[in-house]
Amino acid sequence: MRRREFLRNAAGTGLVIGTGLPSLCLNLQAFADKGNLSQVEARYYKKLPDREIECELCPRACRLGDKERGYCGVRENQGGTYYTLVYGKACSVNIDPIEKKPFFHFLPGTSALSMATAGCNVNCKFCQNWEISQVRPEQVDHRDFSPEMVAAEAQAYRCPSVAYTYTEPIVFYEYMYDTAVAARSRGIRSVVVTAGHIKPQPLRDLIPVVDAIKVDLKGFNQKFYTEYVRGELKTVLETIGIVAKSKAWLEVVYLVIPSLNDSLTDIRDMAHWLKNEVGDRVPLHFSRFQPLYLVKNLPPTPISTLEAAREAALAEGLKFVYIGNVPGHPGEHTYCPGCARVVVRRTGFAVEDIQIKGGRCKFCGAPVSGVWG
């Protein structure tokens, strides 16, 4: 669907207003409220005097008066009680290869029932999904899709996992949490694709009910986070650290944007930090940027830039470094850290061959970290 068509639907404007300068009385149709939003009490907030609340889900800690919404646009103070408006309100549902998330070391070659609600708690100027992440829930079409329905649908379509993705699942935390519990009861795993802006306690509470978390590390200096993400690097690193110490599988993605976050110094520092704080086995993906949303003045990332980033991270000692969004590039494959042979061969999101058994390379027996089956 083209963006124009998408937005027309997203805005709920099925009718086209007449050409030229329209009269005010043309084509204004019914006054039906948009949205059909949920009213489920949020789990992380504290009540303050005078019907105010403070959100305790993400580091923004929005302090809101009655009738106000948080930065995410999907949580609202109603009379001193804080509600999520998107519980069970999925605006995007698809069955994707799990490599699309991307997870390369978690159930490769399988499908994930992938879902999102509207909303996000950062505002990346280069957002690749801004039509659903940077809007309010009443501005997009959505379907009622309870946690139990999600789990049942994943099972019906033989998806071994549910992925909370596309937007920022932290903003639909309660829905994600309950869905993960429902999915697990059916033997289905849960994977989270996040920018990592969450407070430690809700993160620690979430980790036991999910199986893998992919964190988008948008850059490696605060200036970039301030200007282009409107977030905090420190928080994201803290999130990565907490996940790394947990039982959940962790992968990290770094979208490389020409001239904005492609400094090899930053990339070396980032790889160094990952190796020291997380370990050399964490998969790191350098993804290719496409000009979208508010950064349209830059070209797609040159492949040579991605290759230089990958080389720098490998030189720092990371073992699994990938190039993303460049189908057919040899940087998509997994190479055995022991014998350097290809143990998972990929083209785009398709897995063509897996030479791993019992978590070890079939050629040399070296362990290859991941969740392989």
Partner 1 sequence: MAKPRVVIIRDASLTGPGNPPERARVVRMFQRGFALLTGERDDRSAVMTVFRPADRLGIKVNTIGGRAISTRPEVSLGLAGWLAASGLVGANIAVWDRTNRELRDAGYRLSRDPGGPQVFGTDTDGAGYSDELIAHLNVGSLFSRIQTELITASISLAILKDHGLAGVTAGMKNYFGAIHNPNKYHDSRCDPFVAEVFDAPPVKAKHRLSVLDALVVQYHRGPSFHPQWAERYGGLVFSFDPVAADRVGWALVERFRAAKGLPSLKEEGREPAYLATAERMGLGRADLAAIELLEESLS
Give the binding site for partner 1 (CB under 8 A).
3-4, 7-8, 11-15, 17, 21-35, 50-52, 63, 65-73, 123, 125, 130, 134-136, 138-139, 230, 293-294
User: Going by C-beta distance under 8 Å and a sequence separation of 6 or more, which residues neighbour residue 358?
Assistant: none
Minimum distance from residue 185 beta carbon to partner 1 (Å): 35
Cβ distance to partner 1 smaller for residue 24 or 156:
24
**Looking at this protein, which amino acid is placed at residue 181?**
V
Query: Which region holds residue 29: left if phi is over 0, alpha if psi is between -120 and 50, else beta?
Result: beta
Which tokens go with 299?
Answer: 């070209």
Backbone angles phi, psi at 228, to 5 degrees: -115, -15
Helices (H), 89-156: 130-133, 147-156
Long-range contact pairs involving 46-49 (C-beta distance under 8 Å, separation at least 24): 47/80, 47/81
What CA–CA distance (Å, rounded) separates 12 from 237? 38
Minimum CB distance to partner 1 smaller for 297 or for 304: 297
Closest CB 66 distance from partner 1, rounded Å = 4
**Smallest distance, partner 1 to C-beta of residue 121, A:** 10
Q: How far is the CB of 164 from partner 1 (least distance, A)?
A: 21
Closest to partner 1 by CB, 12 or 317 = 12
Rg of the chain over Cα atoms, rounded to whole angstroms, equals 21
Half-sphere exposure of 365 (CA within 13 A, CB side): 0
DSSP summary character for residue 55: E
CB of residue 334 to partner 1, shortest distance in Å: 38
Q: Whole-number minimum distance, CB 71 to partner 1, in Å?
A: 5
* Nearest residue (CB) to partner 1, 122 versus 210: 122
Do the Cβ atoms of 57 and 168 come closer than 8 Å?
A: no
CB-based contacts of 51: which residues, under 8 Å, 6+ apart?
65, 66, 77, 79, 80
34 or 357: CB nearest partner 1: 34
- For residue 351, give the H/E element and its range: strand 350-354
Nearer Cβ to partner 1 (63/341): 63
Task: Rank residues 138 and 262 by Cβ distance to partner 1 and give the closer one.
Answer: 138
Please give the order of strands across the beta sheet that includes 350-354. 334-335, 342-347, 350-354
Please state the closest distance from residue 273 (CB atom) to partner 1, in A. Answer: 27
Which 8-state DSSP code applies to residue 235? Answer: H
Nearer to partner 1, 52 or 238 (CB): 52
Length of the chain in residues, anyone?
373
Q: How far is the CB of 294 from partner 1 (least distance, A)?
A: 4
Q: How far is the CB of 239 from partner 1 (least distance, A)?
A: 20
- The residue (of 61 and 371) whose beta carbon lies closer to partner 1 is 61
The residue written with tokens 């040159």 in the block is: 302
Q: Which two three-digit tokens encode residue 244?
A: 């790394």
DSSP 228: I
